[in-house]
Amino acid sequence: MKESSARIIRLAEYKEPDYWIKNTQLVIRIFDGYTEVSSELTMVKNARVDGLPTLVLDGVEQTIKQLHFDDTEISQYQYSDDKLTVQPVAEEFIFKAVTRIDPENNTSLEGLYKSGSMYCTQCEAEGFRKITFYLDRPDVMATFTTRIEADKASFPTLLANGNPIDEGELENGRHFATWQDPFVKPAYLFAAVAGDLVRKDDSFTTCSGREISLRIFAEPRNAHKTDFALDSLKRSMKWDEKRYGREYDLDIFMIVASDFFNMGAMENKGLNIFNSAAVLANQETSSDDRFERIEAIVAHEYFHNWSGNRVTCRDWFQLSLKEGFTVYRDAHFTSDMHDATVKRIKDARFLKTVQFPEDSGPNAHPVKPQEYQEINNFYTVTIYEKGAEVVGMINTLIGEDLFRKGSDLYFERFDGCAATTDDFVACMQEVSGYDFTQFKRWYTQAGTPTVVVSQHYDAEQQQYQLSFSQSQKPTPGQSEKLPMVIPVKMALLNAQGDELAIDCDADFNQQTQVLTLTEAQTTVTFSGVSEQPYASLFRDFSAPVRVEFELSEAELLLLASKDKNAYNRFDAVQKIYLDTLIAMIKNGDNQTPSLVLDVVRASLADNALSPAIKSLMLALPSYQLLVDSLQQKVDADALVAARQAMKQSIANSFKAEWAELTLSLQSEQAYQFNAEQAGRRELQALTLSYWAETGDAAALDFAKALYQQANNQTDRLNGLKAVLDNGSDALVSDLLDDFYQRWHEDTQMVETWLLLQASAKGVTIDTIKALMQHEAFDITNPNKVRSVLAGFMNNFTSYHQKDFSGYDFIAQRIIQLDAINPQVAARFVTALENWKVFSGQRAEAMKQALQSIADSQGRSPDVSEKVEKALA
Ligand code: PHE
Ligand code: ZN
């Protein structure tokens, strides 16, 4: 492993490559113990470059057997620091290489690796260089032909991108298959698979009447879990035609499920490879959340066929071009399939809980970063989710119709090209005439803006004023911040919650109800306002900003009960919880005030609320969200005490209601995953957790029965979680043993079983250590590692336990994991990097844990970059 050489890649230094690759022919010969890769790259010098520069190809851990230019062996070459340097003698040539690689020992899960019994690839971002020498950068796009050879009995299924063009038998029980991809693509979209897989087929007829063959491949024991993904795929294909006019292009679309995978899934052209956990599902083993997540990921990867593959990224600084846009697209898809408000609430909550902290921490970076050391570290919530918010704001500013026109133009103009975020915005500007110059600061400025709002009502003049002032704290490398374009979707309400007509002196769009802020300070005067109005601002979370707006109890209660914008109603309720908790923490007083109980009572009683929204409104903000909202040094112990006290008090104040609701939400309906049923189950999980919190033995009996009698995973988990949090040790271990007995042969269930324990209330490091020793655990498997370690790190009260021992434990695990899988190890550094938000010795302990990683030997560039930034 390399020590950090702190090689920094800068956007400002982007230049086109000296050579292009037009066509790539690969032969991958898989043998037991090694794999031989032959490549023939048809190359041509970049016409804009003078002379005949040396050719510098990327290649990692390549054992060179032969190198040729056309038919001439290359005798002079240099291979060091993952670069092969050779001197071409003509402007057009075929570069040929035969190399050996070692997929069996490739635990990084990048390049070609062994996943259980099969071989598969992962090339984004820079994995292809682990397969063969290449110009491994997204602006180098080629057509590919791939031939795979392997033992036929062990690996009957051989797949690569595109269409199958040939197959046949070879000597010694081996066989081959050849695939051709007619669409140009960068190497990061390459994929190949060899395995003994079961295939599930379906088909889809496109809008122009072409019949596409859909195929999902899984290991035989998982064959019964592919239907839901196939169905999601068909719905995604239809939706993309309808909403974006995007038709699928190849004749075949394939998905392969892999048990060993660093991320959720990968959009390789025509051959998506998925983490098994992100594709395999059925009612018995997958909860509603999981169904929703799988549907969204299937859609996301499918949508990449246009936003990512047909139009790709020029360089990795443009990563959000494909990811932000595609997340935006899949969110819209989920909204259309289910409940738009619920989706928006969950997305906004996720952004505030995970992205806001990133954006105020040492790894804060713009949606379009200026530099990086290790690109793997930039697959972040900022690039993905904040990037999606930025795309969403473009839609908000120009409206749905023009946005669609802009996206049509973008796909048409850049089809087959490697584009930039500027190209995307330019299309939106061209179709709308809207000047996005200032708006583009959302791509270049890191950090979350804070908008402070104040109001003034003048009864005599019948005028109402809102003053907005926006500001941004410095982020690493960016001390000066300029004002942003902030769309504020808003309404003024009267005391009945009705919306008033708006007549104001500012940039307010009557049609979309959006007020646009562009200055550091903006004062808006509304005329003809005959009574003191209630301001409903940032409806539907119209901008990813922090809002500070002091409201009276009466105002908050009105918004919480009468705002017609369901997102803002939810937000007002959350604000009541959050402000109260923050006051409790600051005052060291853990009495829950009546305001909170009033809000809970009102939400409980409101029969117009859907169960899904009700459950969102009744749930207290997470510890993580509280930490971020405090905006001061956090005393974690005080925070835990306050939230637990509030939860207790809400539980005890409405004990009868929790019991009654829990029972009434029980249903005889046959299980189906849909928004309505999922909402009911979600509310029941919540009411049950409050009920169980009261210590009522009947609640635990109910939870136990729910677990035992469940015919679906959602009910089973809801029952089990209530027992885990409140049941006796004996009952807890009974049910956990039962779970493992029944499901230990199902990988997804085992992952869930590990996660449940790691995230259970009061889990100790000893339990975590025991889980890591369990036969079900495998440190080379990212899903298992995430179940246990991420489960623990997200378990706030256990990870941040009073003796601080969680930090050093995690630091040691990061060091251990870094030697196996740097990409996954580096992600866990996130759990230490925000040490500065905590107070006193806790912060010191976290910092020391980071320091121990920094002092360890043989760190990967991935981990080094994150640790060094966190300590800087
Ligand atoms: N591009 C993948 C996605 O967003 C994510 C991914 C990145 C997967 C890197 C693997 C490696 O869908
Ligand atoms: Zn993606």
pLDDT digits (tens, 9 = 90+) for 323-332: 999 999 999 9
- The residue whose CA is least distant from atom 2 of ligand 1 is 266
- The residue whose CA is least distant from atom 11 of ligand 1 is 124
- Residue 755 · residue 774 · CB < 8 Å: no
- The residue whose CA is least distant from atom 1 of ligand 1 is 266
Best residue for ligand 1 mutational test, from 136, 379, 384 (most atoms within 8 Å of Cβ): 379
Q: Tokens representing 507?
A: 């940039």
Question: Residue 7 CB: number of other CB atoms within 10 A?
Answer: 11
CA of 150 to the centre of ligand 2 (A): 31
Query: For the packed helices 319-337 and 227-244, what is the interaxial angle rounded to 10 degrees?
Result: 100
The pLDDT tens digits of the residues spanning 706-723 come to 999 999 999 999 999 999
pLDDT of residue 6: 74
Closest atom, ligand 1, to C-alpha of 384: 4
DSSP 3-state helix, strand, coil percentages of the chain (rounded to 5)?
A: 45, 20, 35
Beta bridge partners of 256: 217, 273
For strands 311-313 and 417-419, give the pairing.
Answer: parallel
| Catalytic position from the list 110, 301, 374, 693 | 301
pLDDT of residue 397: 98
pLDDT of residue 208: 98
Which ligand has the nearest atom to the CA of 272?
A: 1
- Tokens 């410095």 identify what position? 474
- Give the whole-angstrom CA distance, residue 253 versus residue 298: 12
CA of 709 to the centre of ligand 2 (A): 38
Q: What's the rounded mean pLDDT across residues 169-181?
A: 98
pLDDT tops 60 at residue 1: no
Torsion of CA 471, 473, 478, 479, to 10 degrees: 90
CA of 273 to the centre of ligand 2 (A): 12
pLDDT tops 90 at residue 2: no
pLDDT of residue 631: 82
385 is catalytic: no
CA of 261 to the centre of ligand 1 (A): 10
Percent residues over pLDDT 90 in the chain: 99
pLDDT band at 605 (very low <50, low <70, confident <90, very high): very high
pLDDT of residue 743: 98
The pLDDT tens digits of the residues spanning 480-490 come to 999 999 999 99
ipTM score here?
0.99
Residue type, 193: V
Best residue for ligand 1 mutational test, from 128, 267, 302 (most atoms within 8 Å of Cβ): 267
Q: What's the rounded mean pLDDT across residues 199-228?
A: 98
Mean model confidence pLDDT for the chain: 97
- The residue whose CA is least distant from atom 12 of ligand 1 is 266
Best residue for ligand 1 mutational test, from 115, 189, 263, 329 (most atoms within 8 Å of Cβ): 263
- The residue whose CA is least distant from atom 9 of ligand 1 is 124
CA of 390 to the centre of ligand 2 (A): 16
The pLDDT tens digits of the residues spanning 658-709 come to 999 999 999 999 999 999 999 999 999 999 999 999 999 999 999 999 999 9
Q: What's the rounded mean pLDDT across residues 817-821?
A: 98
pLDDT of residue 763: 96
pLDDT tops 80 at residue 167: yes
Q: What's the rounded mean pLDDT across residues 562-591?
A: 97
- Give the whole-angstrom CA distance, residue 355 versus residue 624: 11
- Give the whole-angstrom CA distance, residue 675 versus residue 289: 11
Length of the chain: 872
Question: Residue 856 CB: number of other CB atoms within 10 A?
Answer: 17
pLDDT of residue 4: 45
The pLDDT tens digits of the residues spanning 619-636 come to 999 999 999 999 889 999
pLDDT tops 70 at residue 52: yes
- Residue 661 · residue 687 · CB < 8 Å: yes
- Give the whole-angstrom CA distance, residue 612 versus residue 310: 37
pLDDT tops 60 at residue 197: yes
- The residue whose CA is least distant from atom 8 of ligand 1 is 266
Q: What's the rounded mean pLDDT across residues 307-320?
A: 98
Q: What's the rounded mean pLDDT across residues 406-410?
A: 99
pTM above 0.90, yes or no: yes
pLDDT tops 70 at residue 5: no
Beta bridge partners of 185: 142
The pLDDT tens digits of the residues spanning 382-391 come to 999 999 999 9
CA of 262 to the centre of ligand 1 (A): 9
Which amino acids bring their CB within 6 angstroms of ligand 1? 122, 124, 262-263, 265-267, 300-301, 323, 379
pLDDT tops 80 at residue 61: yes
